[in-house]
Structure 1
């Protein structure tokens, strides 16, 4: 029986975070539902400088996290960008590929590293459940196949990706797969929300791992509730709860990461 090895990269820098717990839950559900021998190992990238050796794993999921995605001269940053280049280069020269999913902070770091556009600080932090719009290039994207237009995802960011360098995208063969909402009354550019970096590497600015139940529980905790209301206001807080209650996140969580894992496994089994 084949062994498949999954590495989970924790980018939270020792901050408490529901997202990484959700990633572990989805990975464990995938392991339990598979007949193959699947192992899962976690790496604390930013606080312990732990980056997996790509030779030791088949599938990688790199989480979101707080702070500035631009380099600040820290040891983990060099290790992490070397890791990105190693996977990208490995896949160009090997039949049996490595599969990588990048979420939020990881997505921003990769976009900066590959010089894909402008990643800048927002005027105010964004938090909530937002509509996400597929691009024309995403019409055949299997990770979005059964999602409505627009679909919904959890958005939590102080930085954003705008002004994509389309020549750079074309040169590297990368494609923008989703954008944020249009703001007809505001003079601001729409942010990039998802990129297919290669056949094996995909990334989202939003959080496809978000659990509706866990998010509601967190938002209704009195301490968390007060922090969120202070940051985004009561109206946005109520709107976020309402969007979760409407079931907007169920399909996003059930499809994107599970489909990515299944796709990776199927291809790994094809080229054992």
Structure 2
């Protein structure tokens, strides 16, 4: 990809509230690898949303908002208002026809749930039990056509870690917003419950996943092979679940593939759309 090496500025919205996590390391790794692979200068700036009330302005090219702990339903805290204002600001910026170069946003897990609540796209509720591990997810018809997912199999495998779920998509809001449901959680014929929404394209520039596409299979494997983590997972979820996770993390066609494709595809698309004037965007796709 050659677009005269325009500098690519990325904002990372840190939603972890100071809690130890693997996600931030993985996101930084993917961004760095993307810049090296595409031979373009990439920089990122981290905004501590929940602890320092920091949110970026519209001066960045792309935005990644992380997962995080806790209940995604707002309770009126200042950081929530700032985050929701950021979402609306970016959406309105892109809707303004005078802004020819749009802003691209990727929402992960907790951020994804909060966006669904704020834009009233679906219900968000607490699960009966935590979803934790590696699972297959199934594309919808829109998901099979979406450039973010078309390099992945159907179903493809993801890393999931959540106590809450997005269900009951509001079709009227989806249509008015131009949003598309991209994939659903694994099929469970023996469970009489609605399958959770696992990814939504909110607009041409805004997309989000319930799962963790940043999850680093190699790093997670090291983490879960630690004796303390192995003991904890087996105690909470059983030995069969632990064995499945280790097997999926070792399989290059499962978590490794998902990690390599989704966020990198988002970044590449965002870079092409911001580095090349809109009139030339179609030509850029052939580069």
TM-score bracket, normalised by the shorter chain, equals over 0.9
Deviations 1:202-225 (A, max 9, x none): 100111111111111111112222
Equivalent residue number for residue 269 of structure 2: 263
Name which of 234, 239, 249 aligns with 1:229. Answer: 234
The root-mean-square deviation of aligned C-alpha atoms, in Å, is 1.3
2:43 corresponds to 1:44: no
Aligned equivalents of 2:45, 2:267: Cα separation in 1: 15
Equivalent residue number for residue 27 of structure 2: 23
Gaps of 5+ in 2: 279-287
Aligned equivalents of 2:227, 2:40: Cα separation in 1: 43
Deviations 1:88-139 (A, max 9, x none): 0000111110000001011001000000111000010011110010001122
Deviations 1:148-204 (A, max 9, x none): 110001011100011111111111110100000122111111000000000001100
> Does the 8 Å contact 2:32/2:42 carry over to 1?
no
TM-score w.r.t. structure 2 length? 0.91
2:63 corresponds to 1:60: yes
Aligned pair count?
271
Equivalent residue number for residue 211 of structure 1: 216
> Does the 8 Å contact 2:149/2:262 carry over to 1?
yes
Q: Which moved more, 1:105-114 or 1:41-50?
A: 41-50
Gaps of 5+ in 1: none
Aligned equivalents of 2:30, 2:40: Cα separation in 1: 16
Aligned equivalents of 1:230, 1:126: Cα separation in 2: 15
TM-score w.r.t. structure 1 length? 0.96
Equivalent residue number for residue 105 of structure 1: 110
Aligned equivalents of 2:117, 2:193: Cα separation in 1: 20
Note the C-alpha offset of 1:16: 0.7
Note the C-alpha offset of 1:35: 4.1
Name which of 188, 199, 206 aligns with 2:193. Answer: 188
2:169 corresponds to 1:164: yes
Distance 1:37 1:245, change over 3 A: closer
**2:161 is paired with a residue of what secondary structure?**
strand
Q: Which moved more, 1:26-35 or 1:186-195?
A: 26-35
Deviations 1:54-108 (A, max 9, x none): 2x21100111111100002211100000000011000011111000000101100
